[in-house]
Amino acid sequence: MSEKATLTVGGASYELDVTTGSENEKCIDIQQLRAQSGYITMDPGFGNTGSCYSDITYVDGAKGILHYRGYPIEEIAEKASFVEICSLLIYGELPDAETLSKFQDALAEHAPLHTNLEHHFSGLPTASPPMAILSAMLNLVSCFHPDVLEVYSEGHGFDRTAALLLSKVRTIAAYSYRMSVGKPFNQPNPNLNYCANFLHMMFSDPYREYVPNPVIEKALSLFLVLHADHEQNCSTSTVRAVASSRANLFSSIASGVCALWGPLHGGANIGVIRMLEDIKSSGRPIDHYLEKAKDKDSDYRLMGFGHRVYKNFDPRSRILKNRLDELLAELNKKDPLLDIALELEEKTLKDEYFISRKLYPNVDFYSGLLLRAIGIPLDMYTVMFALGRMPGWIANWRELHDQRLRITRPRQIYTGSQERSFVPLEKR
Ligand code: ACO
């Protein structure tokens, strides 16, 4: 017999279905509760509310577990390329050699931007925030490929649209950087792999071509893989909410970019480096910053600490931390900010405030140091996060459509004025 939950409220009892996920997560299904009882449930920030059944990513925050389609992040982080992970997340299985090769060809084919789209960059101020450019340009791409607007109503075209998006976003990201430093665009090179092609578009100059560097490309691929999906986080939930109105893939994902931009989400990777630079240049002891973060009269937070789901450790942060030392040695570099980061982490691990609130380094804490090591400019960090998150957003968009989910429309409890009569201006 299937498990049931009983809710007793207002003198009546209601039987609710209990569902169980494949990793034994439990859920009380309240979809019929309002119709049966008149009650809604309240959960601002959706800290304990499921919005979907999903096959894509599994997170166990208490145990620090992250799986993509069943594969533990520790196993795939170093072994799989980002393009393999894109295919895995979007289509559900690891690609065989032929599927992977076709997917890579599609990415290469769609990398160039329409010349008229390129012209849009020249109308923007050079100091434009790269995340604003990214979300705007993603919407603009759909103007040049009107077929993408109809993907699901036509019942085909998803594969092409997904490849087009994954590829164009990389070109747009690199071009936004080139524009910001006043340098000409580098056309994509179809002979380079996903990461090398991005680095070429970012850093090749007429007098100095980008020379492929496997250490840097591998580190970049690791960064992208670690960011590729994270179940129902703020930006993915935004993509799903927009997609639920049957909005096209490009506009849904452009809205995900906007949600990711915020400093409490993807924007934290820039915040972490600014914080570490500030600690270094101020000459103040780290304790000063810990006290400031604990002070309830201050809005200051330690960037890169805390997570809605992880309450023990973030496995992505551990992988990055372990990789950083090795990477800096391979690149023959030293980073004084890494020493500050390590000391900061060590102090928080012994501090009652952080222990009791279960605040540990999240993915953003060490990811900025990796991007610094491989030479990505600071204001591009959140764009790099967006590049990594693309396959997760696309996979969630697809799943929502395949499941034909209802339009997202939460309820509220109204706390404003009760009904009253309008008072004409002269009598107010
Ligand atoms: N520094 C200091 N105190 C913190 C921090 C922090 N980084 N994060 C949370 N707290 C405190 C809060 O003040 C609160 O304390 P209280 O109980 O005394 O009021 C308690 O911990 C719980 O915090 P909430 O804001 O309720 O936690 P929530 O789950 O809503 O937020 C979040 C999670 C947004 C990640 C938060 O920890 C934060 O702001 N961290 C810093 C920004 C950051 O690193 N964001 C990246 C997140 S990972 C990602 O998006 C990829």
Q: How far apart are CA 35 and CA 39, in angstroms?
A: 8
Q: Respond yes or no: is residue 364 known to be catalytic.
A: yes
Task: Work out the end-to-end distance of the chain between its first and last CA atoms, rounded to an integer number of angstroms.
Answer: 64
- Residue 357 Cα: closest atom of ligand 1: 21
Q: How far apart are CA 218 and CA 209, in angstroms?
A: 19
Assigned superfamily of 71-262:
Citrate Synthase, domain 1 (1.10.580.10)
pLDDT tens across 147-176, in order? 777 777 555 689 999 999 999 999 999 999
Mutate to test the pocket of ligand 1, among 357, 367, 381, 382 (most ligand atoms within 8 A of CB): 357
| Spacing of C-alpha 406 from chain mean position | 23
Q: Whose CA is nearest to atom 29 of ligand 1?
A: 308
Catalytic residue among 67, 230, 307, 314: 307
Assigned superfamily of 268-374:
Cytochrome P450-Terp, domain 2 (1.10.230.10)
Q: Cβ-count burial of 328 within 10 angstroms (0-12 exposed, 13-18 middle, 19+ buried)?
A: middle
Q: For residue 403, report the phi and psi dihedrals to the nearest 5 degrees.
A: -85, -5
**Which residues belong to CATH 2.20.28 in the chain?**
4-68
CATH architecture of the domain with residue range 4-68:
Single Sheet (2.20)
Mutate to test the pocket of ligand 1, among 231, 359, 385, 389 (most ligand atoms within 8 A of CB): 359
3-class DSSP state for residue 329?
helix
> Nearest Cα to 36, choosing from 4, 74, 10, 65?
10
**Which residues belong to CATH 1.10.230.10 in the chain?**
268-374
Instruction: Determine the pLDDT at residue 84.
Output: 98
Neighbours of 273 (CB within 10 A): 21
- Å from CA of 360 to ligand 1 middle: 10
3-class DSSP state for residue 284?
coil
Instruction: Determine the pLDDT at residue 136.
Output: 95
Pocket lining: 224 vs ligand 1, CB cutoff 6 Å: no
Pocket lining: 311 vs ligand 1, CB cutoff 6 Å: no
Q: How far apart are CA 20 and CA 28, in angstroms?
A: 9
Pocket lining: 59 vs ligand 1, CB cutoff 6 Å: no
- Å from CA of 162 to ligand 1 middle: 33
pLDDT tens across 242-292, in order? 999 999 999 999 999 999 999 999 999 999 999 999 999 999 999 999 999
b/e 199-215 (16+ beta carbons within 10 angstroms → b): bbbbbbeeeeebeebee
Instruction: Determine the pLDDT at residue 155.
Output: 57
Q: How far apart are CA 33 and CA 6, in angstroms?
A: 11
Q: Residue ranges of the chain with pLDDT lower than 50?
A: none
Per DSSP, helices labelled H in 38-185 are 73-79, 82-91, 97-109, 115-122, 130-144, 151-154, 158-180
Q: How far apart are CA 224 and CA 182, in angstroms?
A: 26
pLDDT tens across 180-210, in order? 999 999 999 999 999 999 999 999 998 888 9
Mutate to test the pocket of ligand 1, among 227, 236, 264, 351 (most ligand atoms within 8 A of CB): 264
**Which residues belong to CATH 1.10.580.10 in the chain?**
71-262
- Å from CA of 369 to ligand 1 middle: 21
Q: Whose CA is nearest to atom 22 of ligand 1?
A: 357
Instruction: Determine the pLDDT at residue 72.
Output: 98
Cα-Cα-Cα-Cα dihedral sign, residues 354, 356, 357, 360: positive
- Å from CA of 302 to ligand 1 middle: 8
Q: Respond yes or no: is residue 288 known to be catalytic.
A: no
- Å from CA of 57 to ligand 1 middle: 23
